[in-house]
Amino acid sequence: MPDMLEITAYALQVLLIIMALAIVTHKNTGTIIVLIAVFSLVTASLYVINKAPDVAIAEVAIGSAIIPLIYVISISRQREFIVLDKAMDDFIISDDAFTGVGYIFLKRFTDFYHLELNISNDVRLCSVGRGREQKLCEETNVDLIVSKDEETGKYLLKGKQSNILMHKLKQMARDYDTIEVVTFKDRDFGD
């Protein structure tokens, strides 16, 4: 029945255009991800109508499963602000709960930017010496390193200078005597 197939093809193409307009104009990101998955399924059925079932198999597997997964993972990871806690005392965690002075300070900062505070005390990363901290900040996704200066008793918050957020952190740290914000200078990577 060639007529039936043609009608189906036109209906699917009109549906495809409506889906594309919905994706472009919609505001909510979570809804757009679901729409992208449905959009991929519609295109896959159009590939079958265009006599390409092999491409349709690849599109169903990748377009409607893996791409939405990539979007969900990256959007949920986007708002993480990762802090490496090298001080290991009651600055951040006191009495097995997040009630330390440093935690309240960092929480105020991350709430201001609607970020998600993620405090890590990974043993492998914490054992990095002072000289290699800048390299750690550049190579991994750690945003801030908290450590204690033994001589002055101040807590040092270290981050990259190029990070715009560090300026705000410096401003907020002026109210506290025990907190000092240190920034690493950006190294030129050559051309």
Partner 1 sequence: MDPMLTFLVILIGMYGLSTSKNIIKSVFSVTIIESGVILLFLNLGNWQGGSIPIINGAADLIADPLPQALMITTIVIGSTVTALALMLCIKVFHHYGTVEWREILRRGEGK
Residues that bind partner 1 (CB under 8 A): 6, 9-10, 13-14, 16-17, 20-21, 23-24, 29, 32, 36, 39-40, 43, 46-47, 49-55, 58-59, 62-63, 66-67, 70-71, 74-75, 77-79, 113, 115, 141, 143, 162-165
Residue among 79 and 99 whose Cβ is closer to partner 1: 79
Residue among 89 and 111 whose Cβ is closer to partner 1: 111
Residue among 116 and 149 whose Cβ is closer to partner 1: 116
Q: Shortest Cβ distance from residue 176 to partner 1 (Å)?
A: 21
Distances (CA, A) of 152 to 81, 142, 156, 180: 27, 25, 10, 11
Q: Shortest Cβ distance from residue 5 to partner 1 (Å)?
A: 10
Residue 116 falls in which region: left (phi positive, over 0), alpha (psi -120 to 50) or beta: beta
CA–CA distance, 41 with 31 (Å, rounded to integer): 16
Q: Shortest Cβ distance from residue 18 to partner 1 (Å)?
A: 10
Q: Nearest to residue 149, comparing CAs of 186, 181, 127?
A: 181
Q: Shortest Cβ distance from residue 106 to partner 1 (Å)?
A: 15
Residue among 74 and 127 whose Cβ is closer to partner 1: 74
Residue that is written with structure tokens 């791409």 in the block? 67
